[in-house]
Amino acid sequence: GKLLGAVPMVQTAKEKAPVHKDATPYRKPGTVRKRISAKRAKPLPGMVATVNVAVRGPSRAAVRNWKKRNLKSQLRFGPVQKLKPIKAANNPNDPFYWKFLERGTSKMQARPFMRPAFDANKEKSAKISAAEFKVEIAKAAAESRRAPR
C-alpha cells in the first residue's frame, strides 16, 4: 500500500507544527515540520497493518556525517587543543525538541500539533485506509484466481 490513510494526518500536522522565527547555530526554522512523516510499522497483535505518523530524527549515518563535518570545520579554524566536544543535540537537523513543543515543559506552555492533527483526521484516515485495503484485497483475489493451481 501507499500509506494513503496517513496523508491527511501528515499534512495537518505539518500545517500546525510551530516554526522557529530565526535560525540559530543549533536550530533551523522548519526542522520539525520537514521531519513529520508516515511509516509502516510492525502490526500490533490482532491488527492487520499499522502506520505511524511521527517526527523522525536523523539517521545514525546523518548524525555521524554531521559530526565529521563539524569536527573538520573545527580543525580548519583552530588548534587541536581547543576542540569543543561535538554533541549530537547541537545538530540543527535534529528535531528532538518536538516533544517539548507538543507537551510543553515546566517553563514553556505546550503547543500541540500532532494530537490535534490525529483528532481532526482519524475518521477521514480510517475511511481512506479502508478503501485502500479493499482495492488491495480485490487485486490479491484477482491474482489468486489467475494463478495456476
Residues 6+ apart with CB under 8 A from 37: 10, 53, 54, 56
**Residue 83: its pLDDT value, please?**
61
**Residue 136: its pLDDT value, please?**
82
DSSP string, 7-68: HHHHHHHHHHS---SS--SS--TTHHHHTEEEEEEPPPTT-S-EEEEEEPPPPHHHHHHHHH
Q: Collect the ranges in the chain with pLDDT lower than 70.
A: 1-2, 74-86, 88-89, 147, 149
Strand boundaries in 15-61, DSSP class E: 36-41, 50-55
**Residue 69: its pLDDT value, please?**
81
Q: Contact, 33 vs 93, CB < 8 A?
A: no
**Residue 146: its pLDDT value, please?**
79
